[in-house]
A and B are shown apart, each in its own frame.
Chain A
Amino acid sequence: MESHKGVTLLDFWVSPFGQRARIAMAEKGIEFEYKEENLAQKSELLLKMNPVHKKIPVLVHDGKPVCESLIIVQYIEEAWPEKTPLLPSDPYQRAQARFWADFVDKKVYDCGTRLWKTKGEEKEAAKKEFIEILQVLESELGDKKYFGGETFGYVDVAFVPFTAWFHSYESEAGFSVEESVPKISAWAKRCGERESVKKHLYEKEKVYEFVCMLKKRLGIE
């Protein structure tokens, strides 16, 4: 990297964690340089900027690294306070937003991964669990436009990248997000109309192609 000024994001194209950072910066109108990492051959920069986990995404701001996607999003929120906030100002509301983003973080990716990595009874159990997770989220969303209420916020940023994986999860586990959780499905479509989301999420078919490639590589039928 030539310059130590400005914002660089070390990332991997399909990573929902990286997409959280991309979407947060897009929502706030923050310019950044995107650097695609080859996860099979991690760059020296990545290893230097994230020596503990050696993972993407890493946000590098004026030469200083911030790691872990939700920590990155909170950093973006705090380092550019003049830009449109993703978190509410009231501490109690902020705590609720953090709770739900943390819930997404704890539950969605791991269970979602089991939907395509496992077979038979394990897959059925994962499917049941995943639908329950979506139902809890649907209950929290209720009739709101976004998890943030009228405005697209922190929880929406945390969860929206996984909407690009819904098609993969549905195809692998045999269920329908729209049928199981219609409000979440409608929310996903609404988010998909936002510029930031349109720009930084990949088409569902491309994501599924990636999942199928991973399955092959891991020797999963």
Chain B
Amino acid sequence: MEAEEMELFGIWSSPYVLRVIWALNIKKIKYKYIEEDLNNKSNLLLHYNPVYKKVPVLVYKGKPICESMIIVEFIEETWKNDSIFPKDPYEKAKARFLAKFVEDKLSPPMWRFFTTKGKDQEEAYESFTDYLAILERELEGKEFFGGENIGFVDILLGCMSYVVPIYEEITDFEIITKEKFPLLHAWMQAFLSSDIVRDNLPPRDELLYRYRKIREAFLSKDN
């Protein structure tokens, strides 16, 4: 397949875009990447995603697919090599459930933790560490959530592997350590060093700068 058949509209810092990139890498699919400016969205992006006007958008043979989880499922169903999902319907349902759990339950308090201070931050920290414990249990006996290979849940949770150390550095909190969450800690290292992910991460310095600015902006709003 020519790279032109597959286009990905994204922004360098978006974890949602990265999910799609990692999925494309698992399937060894070539693609053309188009960097969007969210303050000046291209006509193409607005045409391809009129409902949400967001990235990522995958365009395959001229037809757009939106929403990162849905894009990953589309990639899985269109290319049969290197499965991202389990084959068994029950195991697949479990993977979808865990992915949704990461999106709906884990992410909001993590964001709240990062954008607040004092009591609000402490409460958010308690909340999401309870949820991390659930994920820790799911990893028992496995290197990745997908088993021996990176799968759907790994892709969905994947951005934590590079965002958590940044949060830790900026807030001075310990979040995922070898002592607290040994399996998640090992998972982070394995994920970051895998072929699929290693060369497809946002530049750390730029992310650090960006996240610092975000936290400053939120904390100054409260004053």
8 Å CB contact of B93 from A74, A95, A136: A74
Chain A residue contacts of B67, Cβ below 8 A: 98-99, 102
The answer to the question of B218 belonging to the interface, with a C-beta cut-off of 8 Å to chain A, is no
- Shortest Cβ distance from B52 into A: residue: A103
The answer to the question of A202 belonging to the interface, with a C-beta cut-off of 8 Å to chain B, is no
Chain A interface: which size bin?
A: 20 to 34
A199 to B60: give the CA distance in the assembly, Å. 41
| Contact A92-B70, Cβ < 8 Å, known A68-B97, A78-B89, A79-B90 | no
| Contact A71-B97, Cβ < 8 Å, known A52-B134, A79-B89 | yes
- Shortest Cβ distance from A92 into B: residue: B63
| Contact A52-B93, Cβ < 8 Å, known A92-B60, A99-B70 | no
8 Å CB contact of A75 from B71, B74, B77, B89: B89
Q: Is A52 touching B96 in the complex (CB atoms < 8 A)?
A: no
Contact with A along B58-96 (1 / 0, CB 8 A): 001001011100110110011000000000011011001
The answer to the question of A212 belonging to the interface, with a C-beta cut-off of 8 Å to chain B, is no
A184 to B63: give the CA distance in the assembly, Å. 26
Contact with A along B87-110 (1 / 0, CB 8 A): 001101100110011000100000
Q: Is A98 touching B70 in the complex (CB atoms < 8 A)?
A: yes
How many contacts A-B (CB < 8 Å)?
Answer: 56
Q: Which residues of A contact B (CB under 8 A)?
A: 52, 61, 64, 66-68, 71-72, 74-75, 78-79, 91-92, 94-96, 98-99, 102-103, 136
Instruction: List CB contacts (< 8 Å) of B18-73 with chain A.
Output: 51, 60, 63, 65-67, 70-71, 73
Chain A residue contacts of B92, Cβ below 8 A: 75, 78
Q: Is B71 touching A74 in the complex (CB atoms < 8 A)?
A: no
Nearest CB in chain A: distance from B217 CB, A: 26
A41 to B76: give the CA distance in the assembly, Å. 41
8 Å CB contact of B90 from A64, A96, A99, A103: A64
Nearest CB in chain A: distance from B20 CB, A: 12
Chain B residue contacts of A95, Cβ below 8 A: 65, 70-71, 73-74
Contact with A along B101-125 (1 / 0, CB 8 A): 1000100000000000000000000
8 Å CB contact of A66 from B73, B77, B93: B93
8 Å CB contact of A102 from B60, B70, B93, B105: B70
A75 to B51: give the CA distance in the assembly, Å. 27
A29 to B83: give the CA distance in the assembly, Å. 31
8 Å CB contact of A61 from B65, B66, B90, B105: B90
A10 to B63: give the CA distance in the assembly, Å. 39
